[in-house]
Each structure stands twice: as structure tokens, then as C-alpha cells.
Amino acid sequence: MLVIGENINASNKSVAEAITKRDEGFLVNLAKAQTLSGADFIDVNAGGGYGSLQEATAAIKWLVGIIQAAVEQPLSIDSDSPEVIEAALKEYHGERLIINSVTAEPARLESIGPLVAERKAWVIALAMGTDGIPDRVEERLTACERIMSYLTGLGVKAEQVLFDPLVLPIAVDTRQGMVTLKTIEQIKLRYPEARVVMGLSNISYGLPKRKLVNRAFLLMAAYAGLDAVIVDPLDNKAMSLIKVADMLVGKDSSCRTYLRAHRKGNIVD
């Protein structure tokens, strides 16, 4: 399973402060720690709330510049703003990258899609359109269909697309766990060459013992067909569980990855 390290995100107060103060050491150390902990990609999100687009693009360009200079892992460029993503791509020199993200909303799709095609990037495609996250599996799949149709029309290959089935808090609607799992299953049936990616934290929002809920849901999602996860790589138990999940669904030949990690002391229970 691919691991996208989530830690460099301005929604985290300490990261936001480091970006504002241009604290290169703090952010570089965070990128290196995620790399050493097994992240395949490093997500970078400089946040919003800037006084101008110029300030927002300056922040993401600085952030991308220092992180790509510090680690060899490819980056996931993460922003709600197509203009900010475009500015980040001009700064980023790596061949492998993820653009995070696109939706079926026409303006966003038409802004981000050409960037994906031009850079031959992978792209996280959220299963939603203009009306927010759909409640039903069929509506999420309709959004996926619109996204895939548009992207392939630009020459983007299915294997470049990482569909995010989206997760709503189960405390608000107890159906939502199964809605996400069924969406994963249907995406894998309809687009076998595409990947499915997911963040874990939303499912447990509002519940006690959130990490326990997240870990159980990860195993269920792996069985449904999950290929990648957006997660904190510094969480040793989460990283251990990812290796267990791969092993249990037959993605770890002869259990080699799991056993190798165990010998190195990297499996914790």
C-alpha cells in the first residue's frame, strides 16, 4: 500500500506557524522523519487564509523548494486553489508527483486536468461534484465517471488516477462506513487500472478511542481494495497495520515485507 505522509499541512498549527515564519529547519526535519518512517510521497499543503494570491503562491513555492531539496521522496502538491497548484508545479522539478486534488466540479476539473496531463502526474480525484460529498454510492460513482471521462480525454491514463471515495463521520451517519467501502469496491470493478486512496481520520470524528476506529476501518478498506492511504507515517502502530493489511489481502509475497519490518523492530502492536 502506498503511504502519503500527511504531516506537512498548514491545518496543523505548528506547521502553519513554521510556514509563516519560514522555519526551514522544522519543516525539513518533518519531511525527513516521514521519509525515514516509510512515506512513499510527502504531501505539502501551505494552507489558505492569505491576504492575496501572491502571498499564497509565495508560501507554496517556498515550501516545495525546501522540501524537494531535502528529501528524495516525490511530493504530493495539495491545495484547494488551482492557481496555487500551478505555481507549485513550476517550482517542483521531480518527475514523479501527485496533484491533490480534483473533483467533478467543472471549473476545478478544467483547471487541474490540463496540469495533470502536461506533467504526466498522478492525481487524487475526489468522488464529489459541486454539491459536496454525496450520501449515496451511486452519486459518488457518477462523479468518478465524469472525472475519468474528462481526464482520459486529455490523454491521462487510468493508472495515473487515485480515486478518493471520501469518508464522512460514522458518528453522524452510521451508514457512511459501508458507503465508503462499497464505493471502493465499485471503483475497483469499474476502473481496475486506477488506484483508490483514502484518509482515515474522518471516519472516527466525534468518537472516543479514534485510533482504534481508524485502524479497524483501514483493514476493512484494504479488503475492499484500498491501494494508498494518507496517514501520519510517524504513527508506528498505523504503519505496522498497513503492513499487516497488505499481508492479509495477499499483497505481500511470502510475507516478506512484514517479516523484514519485524526483524528491524518496525512492527508494533
Q: Is the pLDDT of residue 112 over 90?
A: yes
User: What local confidence, expressed as pLDDT, does residue 51 receive?
Assistant: 86
Are 243 and 191 contained in the same domain? no
Q: Check whether residue 74 and residue 126 sit in a common domain.
A: yes
pTM for the model stands at 0.96
Nearest CA-CA partner of 41 in 19, 71, 63, 65: 71
How do strand 41-45 and strand 122-126 relate by DSSP bridges? unpaired
- 244 and 171 fall within a common domain: no
Q: Which residue did the predictor score with more confidence, 14 or 50?
A: 14
pLDDT tens digit sequence for 210-242: 999 999 999 999 999 999 999 999 999 999 999
pLDDT tens-digit series, residues 51-109: 899 999 999 999 999 999 999 999 999 999 999 999 999 999 999 999 999 999 999 99
Per-residue pLDDT averaged across 254-269, rounded?
Answer: 96
Percent of the chain with pLDDT over 70: 100
pLDDT of residue 148: 99
- Residue 95, domain CATH: 3.20.20.20
Q: According to the model, what pLDDT value does residue 200 have?
A: 86
Domain that holds residue 185: 2-234
> 161 - beta bridge partners?
123
Which pLDDT band, with edges at 50, 70 and 90, does 49 fall under?
confident
DSSP state of 7: E
Sign of CA dihedral 57, 30, 14, 169: positive
Domain count, the chain: 2
Residues 54 and 166 in one domain: yes
pLDDT (0 to 100) of residue 223: 98
What's the pLDDT band for 48 if we cut at 50, 70, 90? confident
CA pair distance 151, 169, nearest whole angstrom: 30
Same domain membership, residue 24 and residue 6: yes
Give pLDDT, residue 142. 98
Strand partners, 196: 163
Instruction: Count the alpha carbons within 13 Å of 21 in the hemisphere toward its beta carbon.
Output: 11
pLDDT in tens, 145-174: 999 999 999 999 999 999 999 999 999 999
Cα angle 75-7-23, degrees, rounded to a multiple of 5: 85
Q: How confident is the model at residue 110 (pLDDT cuts 50, 70, 90)?
A: very high
218 and 245 part of one domain:
no
Check whether residue 100 and residue 215 sit in a common domain.
yes
- Name the band, by pLDDT with cuts 50, 70 and 90, for residue 201: confident
Same domain for 60 and 112, yes or no, is yes
Residue 153 and residue 199 in one domain: yes
Answer yes or no: do 123 and 222 share one domain: yes
Check whether residue 152 and residue 269 sit in a common domain: no
DSSP 9: E
163 shares its domain with 120: yes
